Homo-oligomer: A and B are copies of this chain.
Amino acid sequence: MSTAPAPRREIPDATVARLPVYLRVLRTLLADGVDVVSSEELAEAAGVRSAGLRRDLSYLGSYGVRGVGYDVARLADEIARELGLTQDRFVAIVGMGNLGHALAAYSGFATRGFEVRWLVDNDPAIVGTQIAERCVVALEELTRQDPDGLIVVIATPPAQAQDVADAVVAMGVRSILNFAPCVLTVPDGVEVRKVDLATELQILAFHEQRGRDDLREVNP
């Protein structure tokens, strides 16, 4: 089954976080008919330095050709394989409020290889209705499904997020994307990534203030 000798190298987290960006850029290039790209060009398009890009790619193996560059299609395949996108991945969105609703209708998941298969809510008034051409089910229903390759997106109010996390961890889910502004406690082996919109704004606010203060120092 394995097509390559599997370098089985340890890939740093920082590199893993950038691989999806490279993959997106590569697929854009592919759609534009570009078949070879240099690290300089790819780095420019991905918003990183070329040296860092080459080091990132070196963790995957030696897929570049010196004096030429990287084969776009080949490199895209290798990154997709490393990210585990060769097998099917499914998404369940829990919490059909404003955000969950928007995520259910968001087309960006499907175009990047993720099928939104379950929409979940506990409000009896919502369970059974259709959202984005999919039927909303109760959490109990979800927990009876196969957790293999399933990623759960939590878009509930913060008060219910931990309960949802506990339930899906119990059914065997090991990947959670949390939009609720709260800290989730999960056992080892379960990966949680959080997206907190207000936090992002506050980080921006800090930098904007610092920029203004710096300006004030030279311009009192």
Contact = CB atoms under 8 A, between A and B. Distances in A.
Copies in the complex: 2
Question: For chain A, what secondary structure do more than half of its interface residues adopt (helix, strand, loop), or is it mixed?
Answer: helix
B206 A83 contact: yes
Interface string A183-219: 1010001010101111111111111111100000000
A202 B98 contact: no
A82 interface: yes
Interface residues of A, number: 59
Interface stretch (A15-23, A30-38, A50-58, A64-72): A15-23
Interface of A: 16-17, 19-21, 23-25, 45-47, 82-85, 87, 89, 91, 98-99, 101-103, 105-106, 108-109, 111-112, 114, 149, 151, 174-177, 181, 183, 185, 189, 191, 193, 195-211
